[in-house]
Amino acid sequence: MVRIAVLGCGRIGAMHAANIAAHPRATLAAVHDINTDVAKVVSAAIGAPIMATAGEVFAASSVDAVLIATATDTHADLLEQAVAAGKPVLCEKPIDLSLARVNACAEAIRGTSLPIQIGFVRRFDPGHKAVHDAVRAGEIGELHQVVVTSRDPGLAPEAYLQVSGGILRDMTIHDFDMARYILGEEPETVFATGARLVAPKLMERLGDHDTITVVMQTASGRQAILLNSREATYGYDQRVEAFGSKGMVISDNRRAHHMVRAGKGFTDHAAPLLHFFIERYREAFDAEIGAFVEAVETGSPAIVGFEDGRRALVLADAAIRSIAEGRTVKVSEVL
């Protein structure tokens, strides 16, 4: 059994803790949160010991690996400490909002052979993964265009948005990773445009956008288009389309069930999309833990590694510069 400790017991940390406990080859070794009351809730519900400090976790011989789900600005520090302590890490995205900090972190852990996995959970979604696998298997021939539609079911609270690092580093970052995952080739140029349509005043106050389109192109000409909105009234809109020389694959949305209704003047009326990301990506979160457990067991590199986390941030930074300067930005400018 792989004994995993969870650092950070907020919404996503608590979910990970439960998933670890439910995994047949993993146990929840410990939980930690700077707010002890929060840690207590998870501890009581799932039954793992509380550790008072992160240092205690890293020092514990009862802990084989750690999952970092703390506040974003602590990720890099904790990740470095974990590696220093010889613990494999599953770290929530983003590694840090600052590319400089991420680069420094990369330097600090250079040469480690410990599995380090970044929490780009969508790679583990059965539908999105099926798109990836079909593309890699050549089922659509040469890949030409990737279209990622990614719209949140509703605006996050202002307090969250203030520390989120902006939509590109917070939300689009998942889509940058998805694009890289499907493309199988690094984007060379990034164009982005942002608008304030969902909550114009709030976005102006935050200096942020709520509606984003990004277009990236690789050296060979493959195009990736990312479509974001902070609010889709019909649910959490998550689609991936890959188009190529021999065909197309689409990972379509998910609903809670497949009941459709017809009546006077309409047909096919279906339920809204699954709203909550934990519900929408439930199988993916399970599979993410499973992949981490396997990486720890075998000592093999994680499927989504540190460099994947760094690259997604590079693309976000390029997109931010593209919006600011109204031009296509070469990735090499920010790398």
* Smallest separation (angstroms) from a copy of itself to the CB of 43: 15
Residue (158 or 252) nearer to a copy of itself, CB: 252
Question: Is the CB of residue 216 less than 8 Å from the CB of residue 224?
Answer: yes
Residue (111 or 326) nearer to a copy of itself, CB: 326
Amino acid code (one letter) for 295: A
Q: How far apart are CA 19 and CA 206, in angstroms?
A: 35
75 binds a copy of itself (CB under 8 A): no
Q: Which of residues 143-162 bind a copy of itself (CB under 8 A)?
A: 144-145, 147, 149, 151
Q: Which of 61, 110, 159, 262 binds a copy of itself (CB under 8 A)?
A: 262
Q: Which of 37, 100, 259, 298 binds a copy of itself (CB under 8 A)?
A: 259
328 binds a copy of itself (CB under 8 A): yes
Residue (169 or 222) nearer to a copy of itself, CB: 222
Q: Which of residues 91-130 bind a copy of itself (CB under 8 A)?
A: 125-127, 130
Q: How far apart are CA 317 and CA 219, in angstroms?
A: 19
Q: Which of 189, 303, 310, 317 binds a copy of itself (CB under 8 A)?
A: 189
Residue (273 or 320) nearer to a copy of itself, CB: 273
Residues 6+ apart with CB under 8 A from 50: 30, 31, 32, 36, 39, 40, 43
Check residue 221 and report its DSSP letter: -
Length of the chain: 335
Task: Please identify, among the stretches 60-68, 162-170, 254-262, 307-315, the one whose residues bind a copy of itself according to the rule CB under 8 A.
Answer: 254-262
Strand partners, 226: 148, 214
Check whether the bond before 94 is cis (ω within 30° of 0).
yes
Question: Is the CB of residue 182 less than 8 Å from the CB of residue 193?
Answer: no
Q: Which of 35, 162, 269, 276 binds a copy of itself (CB under 8 A)?
A: 269
Residue (206 or 215) nearer to a copy of itself, CB: 215
Three-state secondary structure call for residue 10:
coil
* Smallest separation (angstroms) from a copy of itself to the CB of 74: 30
**Packed helices 126-136 and 282-298: angle between N→C axes, nearest 10 degrees:** 60
27 binds a copy of itself (CB under 8 A): no
Q: How many CB atoms lie within 10 A of CB 325?
A: 9
Question: Is the CB of residue 287 less than 8 Å from the CB of residue 124?
Answer: yes
Question: Is the CB of residue 140 less than 8 Å from the CB of residue 242?
Answer: yes
254 binds a copy of itself (CB under 8 A): yes
Q: Which of 114, 232, 291, 303 binds a copy of itself (CB under 8 A)?
A: 232
Question: Is the CB of residue 143 less than 8 Å from the CB of residue 220?
Answer: no
Alpha carbon 335 to its chain's center: 20
Alpha carbon 151 to its chain's center: 14
Residue (39 or 232) nearer to a copy of itself, CB: 232
* Smallest separation (angstroms) from a copy of itself to the CB of 52: 27
247 binds a copy of itself (CB under 8 A): yes
Q: Which of 202, 215, 278, 334 binds a copy of itself (CB under 8 A)?
A: 215
Check residue 123 and report its DSSP letter: G
Residue (214 or 313) nearer to a copy of itself, CB: 214
Q: Which of residues 307-326 bind a copy of itself (CB under 8 A)?
A: 326
- Residue 295 tokens read as 């990486």
Residue (97 or 198) nearer to a copy of itself, CB: 198
Residue (101 or 282) nearer to a copy of itself, CB: 282
Question: Is the CB of residue 275 less than 8 Å from the CB of residue 235?
Answer: yes
